[in-house]
Amino acid sequence: MIPTPTLRFWGFKEHPFADNILRDELMPLFVDREDELSQVQDALGRSRVVGVHGNLGVGKSSFLHKLRKILIEEGIPVAYVHLNADSEDTLYRELLTELLILLEGGSLPVKRMAGFRTEEEAQRLHASVASSRGADFGAKLAGIGGKFVEDRTVSVEAHTESSARESIRRIFDALKGPLVVVFDDFEKLRYEASGKTRDYFPILSRFVSTLEELLNRKQVSFVLSMDNQVEGLLEKEQKKGGQFAFSLNHLCRIPNLTLDHLWKLVAVRLKAHGWKAKTSGFMTDAAVYGLAIASANHPRKAVNILAEAMWVVANRKGAKERVVDDEAVRDGAARARLPMDEKDWRAVEYLLEHGESANDDDALRQHLGYKRSKNKTGYHTSVDRKLNAVAASLRLEFQEITSGNTTKKVLRLPKVTRK
């Protein structure tokens, strides 16, 4: 890792807020998602196809790698296929590649398959690379037990998607236990119609139909990772009568982090990278809330903002104190092209000072700069919208407070546990 001036100022050898998919040695940085992991695990016990969806960068791939780790620890093999824009033409060959790696590694218990040789299947897959757009099986196949050599002169018929499906079917038929297949980044697949790129729904429909009809085995479950577009597409189809050509037996949304878990993300990364002082000393309370507002508790946005905020602090004239304050977060958010809504921040400032507020709070209205309308309660709507926006950003809920015959909705800013 290059020792940058910012890292030297903060005393880190590596950046604690690098934007990486959490897998393998980075898995200890994984936080939260206990409920969603439990949902998907439970669904795999009763469903053929499970969908996982969420916003870009919310942590779906990290979530799936965590799921993979949990399943493997429970003795369940996982074939993990990370898709790319060209994978529509090579879906089944990419899956077969992962299955062959599991077979050669001895982690996929199967009955004997007459005439089926892992090395020959790998050779056939490799022979298909040249005719497959963007497919890169060579490196993976070359590593299958050290047996496959790319320059072998053995002449074999190249695998097609059809022949790969047949080989997959044979492996599934020979299974002696459960298997989970993960297809990550399904949203990267797009189809073209009249020269225009469209949504991936038709590809998804065809693919899941194939899984159900051709590869239907009770002990094989599939997890498909998609963006939030799938929810809208499914709702649109339901309005047409719900006549799907396929079924997603379970759909799990990966939401933004809670406020507490956003802080845990910060603390875990600091400790993992050798921060010796108290983690609470890294940021002020106001900076934590500012980070939540600017990032809307979105993990990728949060780490990008913090990386820029660290730069801001390190480059202050005469800077000595290693503390991220709310000003650094605001400047860092601007540098990360995620500028903070000024009225959102003013609302948070008010809540930090006063502890709670409601849409009929005149002092808050004045603090936010809203003018009273001719309608006595007209300005309440603007304040209410702003408080709703803050609540949505921080994943908070309004509480109903009753006093005599009057009931009003109050928004409280909770104290973040920062141990």
Q: How does pLDDT run across 316-337, given as a tens digit for each residue?
A: 988 789 999 999 999 999 999 9
Residue 379, domain member (yes or no): yes
281-317 b/e (C-beta count within 10 Å ≥ 16 → b):
ebbbebbbbbbbbbbbbbbebbbbbbbbbbbbbbeee
122 φ/ψ angles, rounded to the nearest 5 degrees: -65, -40
| Mean pLDDT to the nearest integer, 179-205 | 81
Residue 303, domain member (yes or no): no
Residue 259, domain member (yes or no): no
Res. 198: pLDDT tops 50: yes
In this prediction, residue 146 carries a pLDDT of 47
Give the total residue count for the chain: 419
Residue 326, domain member (yes or no): no
As for how many domains the chain has, the answer is 2
CATH number of the domain that 107 lies in? 3.40.50.300
DSSP 117-138: -HHHHHHHHHHHGGGSTT---H
Q: Are residues 22 and 137 in the same domain?
A: yes
Q: Which of 12-16, 23-27, 204-208, 221-225 has the lowest mean pLDDT?
A: 204-208
- Show the domain range for 183: 5-253
Give the residue carrying structure tokens 């225009």: 196
Look at strands 192-193 and 196-197 and give their pairing.
antiparallel
Residue 300, domain member (yes or no): no
**74: CB partners within 8 A, 6+ apart:** none
Look at strands 220-226 and 49-53 and give their pairing.
parallel
Give the residue carrying structure tokens 């809307």: 296
In this prediction, residue 71 carries a pLDDT of 96
> Which tokens belong to 286?
């106001």
Domain boundary among 253, 268, 292: 253
Res. 122: pLDDT tops 90: no
Q: Which of 150-159, 218-227, 283-292 has the lowest mean pLDDT?
A: 150-159
Residue 196, domain member (yes or no): yes
**What are the angstrom distances between the C-alpha of 107 and each of 72, 179, 221, 278, 329?**
9, 10, 17, 43, 47
Q: Which of 127-131, 237-241, 345-349 has the lowest mean pLDDT?
A: 237-241
d(CA 231, CA 218): 26
Side-chain-facing half-sphere of 306: CA atoms under 13 Å: 31
| Mean pLDDT to the nearest integer, 394-408 | 75
Look at strands 250-253 and 356-358 and give their pairing.
unpaired
Domain boundary among 235, 253, 271: 253
Q: Which of 112-121, 256-265, 297-306 has the lowest mean pLDDT?
A: 112-121
3-class DSSP assignment, residue 242: coil
Residue 375, domain member (yes or no): yes
| Mean pLDDT to the nearest integer, 376-385 | 65
Q: Give Cα 261 to chain centroid, integer Å.
A: 15
- Burial, 363: exposed, middle or buried (Cβ in 10 Å; 0-12, 13-18, 19+)? exposed
Q: Are residues 246 and 359 in the same domain?
A: no
Confidence of residue 90 (pLDDT cuts 50, 70, 90): confident
Q: Give Cα 140 to chain centroid, integer Å.
A: 25
Res. 49: pLDDT tops 90: no
Q: Largest alpha-carbon pair distance within the chain?
A: 88
Domain boundary among 206, 224, 253: 253
Between 342 and 247, residue with greater pLDDT? 342
Q: Which of 130-139, 267-276, 342-351, 355-364 has the lowest mean pLDDT?
A: 130-139
pTM of the model: 0.86
